[in-house]
Structure 1
Amino acid sequence: MSWTRASPIETERLLLEPLRVEHAIEMPPVLSSPELYVFTGGEPPTEDDLRARYLRQVAGQSPSGDSGWLNWIIRRRDARSVVGYVQATVSEQDGALLADAAWVLGVSEQGMGFATEAAGAMLDWLRQQGVSVVIACIHPENRASAGVARRLGFARTERVVNGESVWELRG
């Protein structure tokens, strides 16, 4: 299946740039705080780690071709600085397009509404592409991400995947 490629998205305060391998140079400081990995595990990536990851992700789809990979780097319009990323993995199920969404914001940029603004813009873009259901897997203790999901209209379901609560947004 041929998947739609990410395109630039603009909001009042942010620019969402489709992922490029070159973003690996800018992202390590944004992802350097160990606080970002409390709920997800792992550790801050190096520039080389990100370059390898981004080389895979810019392909735009899974190796098997059964899902599309959409990734954006979030940049502040005022300072032009990179502050995080949003991403969605899109697949088809019973003729409908579904997306698994995620958002990550650098610790210094949290609490200003950027995650809600960026993820909301991505969700609007996904709807325009025909995505009808979006899920987000959020650790039960990650109140900040749960707050973003709630503000965007997601509802927490009873499902749990790998210890994370599944939140769902329809329509």
Structure 2
Amino acid sequence: MNWPAIERVESKRVVLDPLTVQHAPEMLPVLADPSIYEFIGGTPPTLEQLHRLYGVQSLGHSDDNAQWWLNWVVCLRRPRRAVGYMQATVERRAGVLEANIAWVISPAFQGRGLATEATASMIVWLTASGVDRYVAYIHPDHAASAAIARKQGLRPTSVVEDGEVRWQNE
């Protein structure tokens, strides 16, 4: 499938900038807080690791073109500052385009509704791009992410993968 190019997405307080390798230095401090990894696993990345990861993620699609990879850096509008990231992996499933979505906001900026606003903006853009279904995998103890998913119209299902509950809008 020929996927459209990722675009910049703007909302009232945040801008979603399409991810590039050049974002690695400004994202390093955003991803440095170990508490980010409490529910998603992993550890804070090095600059070299971010360069490699962003090089792959910014390609925009899998090698076989079956998946559309969308990655944005979440930035405050004023002052312009990176505060997190948004991700969507889109593929055709059962005749519909399904986006597996995820979000991370630096703990220093949590509790302000930024993840909710950024996620809503991403979903509006994805819907305009033809996406029909949204899913997110959320650790059952991650109340903040569950609240964000619920605000986007997602509901928990009985499906559990790798200890995370599948949420979806259908």
Q: 1:61-119, CA deviations, whole angstroms, 9 ceiling, x for partnerless residues?
A: 11222101001100000110100000100001233111100000001000000000001
1:141 aligns with 2:141: yes
One-letter identity of the residue aligned with 1:105:
I
Corresponding letter in the other structure for 2:76: R
Task: Report the Cα distance in structure 1 between the residues aligned to 2:4 and 2:117, rounded to whole angstroms.
Answer: 22
Deviations 1:112-155 (A, max 9, x none): 00000001100011100111101000000001100111111111
1:28 aligns with 2:28: yes
Per the alignment, residue 111 of structure 2 pairs with 111
Runs of 4+ deviating beyond 4 Å: none
Q: Does 1:8 align with 2:11?
A: no
Comparing 49-58 with 93-102, greater Cα deviation is found at 93-102
Determine the structure 1 residue equivalent to 2:90.
90
Letter in 2 for 1:13: R
Name the TM-score, length of structure 1 as normaliser. 0.97
* Pairing of 1:159-170 with structure 2 (within 5 A): 159-170=159-170
CA–CA separation in structure 1 for the residues paired with 2:75 and 2:45: 19
What SS is found at the alignment partner of 2:168?
A: strand
1:38 equivalenced with 2:38 (yes/no): yes
Unaligned runs of 5+ in 1: none
TM superposition score normalised by structure 2? 0.97
RMSD of aligned C-alpha atoms?
A: 0.8
1:1-43 deviations in Å (ceiling 9; x for gaps): 2112210011000111011110001001001111000111110
- AA partner of residue 84 (structure 2): G
The residue number in structure 2 matching 1:150 is 150
Structure 2 residue runs of 5 or longer lacking an equivalent are none
Q: Distance in 1 between matches of 2:4 and 2:159?
A: 29
